[in-house]
Amino acid sequence: MRADRLVATLLLMQARGRVTAAQVAAELEISVATARRDLEALSAAGVPVYPQPGRGGGWSLVGGARTDLTGLTAGEATALFALAGPGAAVAPAARSALRKLVGALPDTFRADAEAAADAVVVDPARWGRHDRDRPAMVDALQDAVVRRRRVRIGYADRRGRRSERVVDPWGLVDKDGDWYLVAGTVQGRRTFRVDRVATAEVTTEPAERPADLDLAREWEQVVGEMERRRSLVEAVVLVPERHVTILRDHFGRHLTTLGTEADGRVRVRVGAPMALSIAENLAGWGAGVEVVEPGSVRAELARIGAELVARYGGAEGPRPRPPRRPAPTSSGY
């Protein structure tokens, strides 16, 4: 992951003072070209890294061989995260290293840098829908999170009803392409879908934020609440092993593998708000899947099957074409 490499490169430069692209490549087990691109990306992002050409040259951190990285500003720390891409996942080890870098910042910048570090959580588990385009309001809301400013948003609920609210933005969550704003309101914590945010005006009022806020923990609680509302019906299904991945795309985190049967089929548990929702997702598989339980899902599948037979059972298929006669062969005369 690129974020891991960038952090490792900075720590390597901190330890050695000056490095060459070849040394970085050997240390991180990457190509020299990749190491050079990473060094150039750090410099272009505003991190105090600069090259020294000529014999004995290399790449150095501003401040000399024994820098404590206090030259980094909050904006540069934010840029370091941004190099991994909008909302990119950062490994725990890399995030720990970034926090150490943030700890070396002057007190005047540390709060903003820490806010930037916690502005986005990435949850790769999908709800069961296809990926979406990145909403236009993500950047404005992330800026409000980092600056800790209240935001006046124009928001549409699931029925399309518009309202205006002033919220304290706590952080953003990228859930496999679906973006959510976790925020404080007069009613307590609320979660807003960013693709329903029509307008976002960052105010000059400071946002209230719990001192012990852990955005990842807050999001886990949100997911738990949503899961309890969404997974009201569960079914046990036997499917061929090759189809498990495809079914997981349909059901997302609502699919759990339970084990493998003697005939090679995989026993899975799937969940949805209604028995009909499960049946509709499985009906297209025909006899390729077997619902073990509950009876409500089996009944819905039987009903769907009966409707299809009633609609198409007596329909005539296309008439087969008569076989083409072979062309006459030459007799040679």
pLDDT at 212: 84
Answer whether 6's CB lies under 8 Å from 41's CB. yes
Answer whether 11's CB lies under 8 Å from 61's CB. no
Question: How would you write the pLDDT of the chain (333 residues) with one tens digit per residue?
Answer: 466 677 778 777 776 777 888 888 888 888 888 888 888 877 776 677 777 776 667 888 765 433 344 455 445 555 555 444 434 445 555 555 555 555 555 454 455 555 555 565 555 555 555 445 677 788 888 888 888 899 999 998 878 888 999 999 998 888 767 888 999 998 888 889 898 999 999 999 999 988 888 888 888 888 777 766 665 788 999 999 988 988 888 887 788 899 999 999 999 998 888 888 899 989 988 888 999 999 999 999 999 999 988 888 766 655 555 555 555 444 443
Domain that residue 173 falls in: 123-213
Does 154 lie in the same domain as 93?
Answer: no
The candidate with the shortest Cα–Cα distance to 192, out of 227, 228, 166, 231, is 166
- pTM, two decimal places: 0.44
DSSP 252-315: GGGEEEEEE-TTSPEEEEEEESSHHHHHHHHHTTGGGSEEEE-HHHHHHHHHHHHHHHHHHTT-
Q: How many domains does the chain have?
A: 3
φ and ψ of 48, to 5 deg: -70, 70
104 vs 123: CA distance, rounded Å: 29
CATH number, position 99? 1.10.10
The candidate with the shortest Cα–Cα distance to 180, out of 163, 194, 200, 197, is 194
Q: Is residue 134 part of a domain?
A: yes
Instruction: Spell out the residues 6+ positions from residue 282 whose beta carbon is closer than 8 angstroms to its own.
Output: 237, 289, 291, 297, 301
Answer whether 123's CB lies under 8 Å from 217's CB. no
Q: Is residue 100 part of a domain?
A: yes
Does 94 lie in the same domain as 23?
Answer: yes
Q: Is residue 304 part of a domain?
A: yes
Q: Is residue 42 part of a domain?
A: yes
Does 107 lie in the same domain as 55?
Answer: yes
Q: Is residue 333 part of a domain?
A: no
pLDDT at 266: 94
54 vs 59: CA distance, rounded Å: 11
Q: What share of the chain is helix, strand, coil (3-state, %, to 5)?
A: 40, 25, 30
